[in-house]
């Protein structure tokens, strides 16, 4: 369906971190193991996304025994070509207080309590990519970038959550965030650059997690009715065309 609505859609119970321009959906598994997940995979398709910095396509998730306003995320950022080769940045972040890391790809998280891990790689935008999140031991989690066509997997980073943190719980949010406008009250809505991305249903190796799906909730945000926005929602995917060419 085609709509001219907000660039943000309020989803689930996950906070939006004050993003200025975004579009969002909520993911869930209709059938989910009661003891949570030790791994989850978030696939992305962005074959026609412009190869330039600005947008962050991200999935949020959280864990047992933490507040539902504390979460982690896994995402993809298009980048300008490097040396004539298409490039992307993969991200793996925790915004949970007390998260630690020793990984060289990781640092303090975006001015907010937590850790951001990032990896820039040469990429084929025609391929579908996934960020794979796996519990390696105890409360330590690893994020890896997977090219679903070549099956090449590269570690983005890993971090350790506070003692007592459990497994991944059911449900979270997916965002298309134009981060240059974050926390900026003086945006010009009709200058929002164009992008397009598809979020595909999350999957897990846990066979009790079945049928990862998406839902769209009510629009919010400062550019309501002022941006071009086309949304296509299917049971297992969510496509966003956002901004001006």
Residue reference for tokens 């962005």? 46
Helix (H, G, I), strand (E, B) or coil at 181: helix
How many residues does this entry show for the chain? 245
Joined tokens for residue 93? 């972040």
The pLDDT-based confidence of 12 (bands split at 50, 70, 90) is very low
Residue 67 pLDDT > 90: no
Residue 73 pLDDT > 90: yes
Res 5: pLDDT: 26
Residue 37's alpha-carbon distances to 1, 82, 157, 168, 227, in angstroms, are 33, 37, 19, 5, 37
Res 206: pLDDT: 98
Report the C-alpha gap between 190 and 129 in whole angstroms.
Answer: 30
Lowest mean pLDDT among 44-48, 97-101, 110-114, 167-171: 110-114
Residue 18 pLDDT > 70: no
Cα angle for residues 212, 217, 222 (degrees, 5° grid): 130
Res 217: pLDDT: 55
Q: Say how many domains are in the chain.
A: 1
Joined tokens for residue 109? 């998280």
Q: State mean pLDDT over 237-241.
A: 86
Which one, of 108, 105, 240, 111, lies nearest residue 177 by Cα? 240
Range of the domain at 197: 2-242
Which one, of 87, 200, 202, 66, lies nearest residue 133 by Cα? 202
Which residue has better confidence, 187 or 122?
A: 122
The pLDDT-based confidence of 1 (bands split at 50, 70, 90) is very low
Which residue has better confidence, 93 or 20?
A: 93
Q: State mean pLDDT over 109-125.
A: 87
Res 219: pLDDT: 54
Residue 63 pLDDT > 70: yes
Res 114: pLDDT: 87
Joined tokens for residue 92? 């793996």
Radius of gyration of the chain (CA): 17
76, 131 contact by CB (below 8 A): yes
Joined tokens for residue 117? 């891990």
Report the C-alpha gap between 217 and 27 in whole angstroms.
Answer: 11
- CATH no. for residue 229? 2.60.120
Q: Edge-to-edge strand order for the sheet containing 237-242?
A: 2-3, 229-234, 237-242, 195-200, 39-45, 129-137, 140-147, 153-160
Max mean pLDDT among 56-65, 66-75, 174-183 falls in 56-65
Helix (H, G, I), strand (E, B) or coil at 174: strand
Residue 7 pLDDT > 50: no
Res 100: pLDDT: 94
């Amino acid at each position: 369906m085609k709509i001219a609505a907000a660039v943000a859609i309020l989803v689930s119970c996950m906070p939006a971190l004050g993003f200025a321009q975004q579009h969002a959906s909520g993911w869930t598994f209709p059938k989910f193991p009661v003891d949570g997940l030790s791994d989850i995979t978030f696939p992305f398709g962005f074959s026609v996304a412009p190869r330039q910095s600005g947008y962050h396509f991200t999935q949020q998730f959280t864990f047992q025994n933490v507040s539902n306003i504390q979460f982690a995320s896994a995402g993809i950022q298009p980048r300008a070509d490097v040396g004539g080769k298409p490039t992307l940045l993969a991200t793996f972040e925790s915004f949970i207080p007390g998260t630690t890391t020793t990984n060289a790809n990781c640092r303090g998280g975006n001015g907010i309590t937590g850790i951001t891990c990032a990896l820039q790689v040469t990429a084929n935008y025609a391929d579908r990519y996934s960020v794979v999140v796996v519990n390696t031991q105890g409360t330590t989690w690893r994020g890896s970038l997977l090219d679903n066509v070549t099956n090449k997997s590269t570690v983005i980073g890993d971090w350790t959550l506070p003692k007592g943190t459990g497994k991944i719980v059911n449900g979270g949010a997916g965002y298309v965030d134009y981060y240059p406008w974050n926390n900026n009250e003086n945006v010009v809505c009709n200058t929002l650059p164009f992008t397009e991305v598809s979020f595909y249903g999350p999957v897990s190796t846990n066979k009790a997690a079945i049928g990862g799906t998406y839902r769209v909730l009510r629009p919010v945000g400062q550019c309501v009715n002022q941006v071009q926005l086309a949304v296509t929602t299917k049971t297992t995917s969510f496509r966003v065309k956002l901004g001006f060419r």
